[in-house]
Structure 1
Amino acid sequence: MLLREKMENHAFSNSEKAVIDYILEKNVLIENMTAKEIAQATYTVPSTLIRIAKKLNYSGWNELKEAYLKEARYLQSHFSNIDANIPFKDNDTMMSIAGKIATLKKESIDDTLSLITHDDLQKAIQIIRKASCIHLFAVSNNLLITQEFKHNMSRIRKPVHIHGLQNEIIFNATLASVDSCAMIVSYSGETYVLEHIAQALNHKNIPIIAITSIGYNTIARMSQCVLRICTREKLYSKIATFSTDSAVTYLLDVIYSCVFALDYKKNLDIKIETSKAIETGRFSTVDILKEDEF
């Protein structure tokens, strides 16, 4: 759930509701306002803002303000022309559809890039670096997308175990070794079975890296590291998961590349030598595809 939605739907007192309505109306304009100034504008007192923050599970007004502004700026940026849910209409030509899907995917990647922070990415890579293996949990489309990540990581000798059997994944989570780590990919962050997996992993103190949407959700709350993806799609009312698929694929590619870079020369040598050995029968008459001699 977005913070804005939590603010709109939470049960507040009348004085707290007046502050909430003011914040939602002013949006990013509250950036340079102090708690005292907002209180004066709403005929309340600064402690009202602190109570609101506490009710929304923030340590204080400044932390709530920072989270609200970050979300508000995100929601104002990108996707000015393409609807992530219905990116094309029934009267669009084939080439128009092709152009709109390309734009949507490009914007989804740019959007996800804007949500990546150095500290969060570094934390995720360090968790993976220290782990003996990665247990990866996802459902539906996200489960399919993770296969390429597993393939890439296996080529640099970092084992990834994808758990896809619905009746077995909670059991598998309970068997994960304490020196491993986990990645949970969930757009909503509220998938019931993945919540149970997170509980099992937390019980064993296995660090979780969550790949999920912006806003407050259960999977993010239960994870030690959270990487956010483009958040523009509704849960059901859409043609396909074009935007989410592109965002998850991009973020997994970034993670793989950063792990690769931890030992760049060694991993590059391994990748090239093993590929040469496996793909000896491949050739091309097109110059751009031909390999240079090493």
Structure 2
Amino acid sequence: MLITERLERCDFSNSERIIIDYILEKKLEIANMTAKAIAEATYTSPSTLIRIAHKMNFDGWNELKQAYLKETEYLESQVSDVDANIPFKRNETIMNIAQKIAVLEKESIDNTLSLITHDDLQKAIQIIRKSDCIHLFAVSNNLLITQEFKHQMSRIKKRVEIHALQSEIVFNACLSEPTSCALIVSYSGETDILNRCIRALKANSVPIIAITNIGDNTTARLSDCVLKICTREKLYSKISTYSTDTAIVYLLNVIYSCVFALNYDYNLNLKIESSRMIENGRFSTLNIIKEDENENPR
């Protein structure tokens, strides 16, 4: 659930509700306002803002304010001519469809990039670096699109176990070792079986990285590190998961690339030399994709 939605739905006193209505109306205008200034504008007291923050499970008003501003800024930047759920209409030309899907996927990557913070990404990479295995949990189409991530990581000798059998994944989580880590991919953040896996992983002291939506959800709250993705699609009222799939694939590619960069020269040489042996005899008549055998990797 978004912070905005929680502010609208939580049980607040009359004086607290006055402040809530004020910040929901002013939105980004409160960025430079102190707690005292907001209290004066609403004829309340600064302590009321602190009570609101605590009811929202934040340590203090400034923490809630920054989270609210970041969410609001993101939501107000989501202006597009392409609907993520119904990107094209009946009787559109095939080139219009092609153009709209391109716009949608580009925007999904840009939006996801805007949600990445250095500290969160660094934390995720360090968790993976210290782990001897990555246990990957997802369901449905999210499970399918993680296969390439496993393939890429295996080429640099990083083990990824994708737990695909839904009747067994909680059992797999229960058997995980604390020397490993877990990557949970859940757009809604409320998939019950995945959150059961997280609780089993936590019982085994397995560090957990979540890829999920921008709101407050169970998966995010239970995880040690959260990487957020573009959040524009409804759960099922849509033509396809264009935006979500693109965002997840992009973020997995970012993770792979950052892990690759931890030992860049070794991994690049390993990747090229192993590919050269495996794909010996492969050729093309197109100069742009021909390999230059005399060129050494840098």
When normalised by structure 1's length, the TM-score is 0.98
Contact 2:209/2:224 (8 A) holds in 1: yes
Residue of structure 1 equivalent to 2:111? 111
Letter in 1 for 2:187: Y
1:120-167 Cα shifts (integer Å, max 9, x gaps)? 111111100000010000011110110000000000000000001110
- Secondary structure of the equivalent of 1:182? strand
Rounded Cα–Cα distance in structure 1 between residues aligned with 2:79 and 2:234 = 14
1:115-264 matches, cutoff 5 A? 115-264=115-264
Q: Which residue of 1 is the match for residue 275 of structure 2?
A: 275
Is the 8 Å Cα contact of residues 136 and 160 (structure 2) preserved in structure 1?
Answer: yes
Secondary structure at 2:273 match in 1: helix
Q: Distance in 2 between matches of 1:88 and 1:104?
A: 11
**Matching residue's letter, 1:87:** P
Q: CA 1:79/1:101 → structure 2, altered by over 3 Å: closer, same or farther? A: farther
Write the mapping of 1:80-99 to structure 2, written as runs, cut at 5 A: 80-99=80-99
Q: Give the Cα separation in 1 of the matches to 2:31 and 2:57.
A: 20
Deviation at residue 280 of structure 1 after TM alignment: 1.4
AA aligned to 1:176 is S
- Shift in Å, 1:37: 1.6
Distance in 2 between the 1:121 and 1:238 partners?
Answer: 30
Q: Which amino acid aligns with 1:204?
A: N
Shift of 1:78: 3.8
Structure 2: tracts of 5 or more residues without a match: none
Aligned residues: 294
CA distance in 2, matches of 1:18, 1:229: 32
Q: Given the two structures, how large is their TM-score scaled by the length of structure 2?
A: 0.97
Q: Which residue is 1:66 aligned to?
A: 66
Kindly provide the amino acid, as one letter, of the partner of residue 91 in structure 2: N
Question: What CA distance in whole angstroms lies between the structure 2 residues aligned with 1:270 and 1:45?
Answer: 62
Structure 2 residue 22 is the aligned partner of structure 1 residue 36: no
DSSP-derived class of the 1:91 partner = coil
Q: Is contact 2:178–2:207 with CA below 8 Å preserved after alignment? A: no
In structure 1, C-alpha distance between the alignment counterparts of 2:25 and 2:79, rounded to whole Å: 22
Identity, in percent, stands at 70
Does the CA-based 8 Å contact 2:53-2:64 persist in structure 1? yes
Q: Does 1:293 align with 2:293?
A: yes
CA shift for structure 1 position 80: 2.2
| Over 2 Å off, 4+ runs | none
Aligned Cα root-mean-square deviation (Å):
0.9
Q: Distance in 1 between matches of 2:271 and 2:216?
A: 39
Q: Which deviations, in whole Å up to 9, do the C-alpha atoms of 1:24-63 show, x marking residues without a partner? A: 0111001111111211222211111111100000001000
Matches of 1:55 and 1:170, distance apart in 2: 32
Structure 1 SS opposite 2:246: helix
Equivalents in 2 of 1:98, 1:239: separation in Å?
14
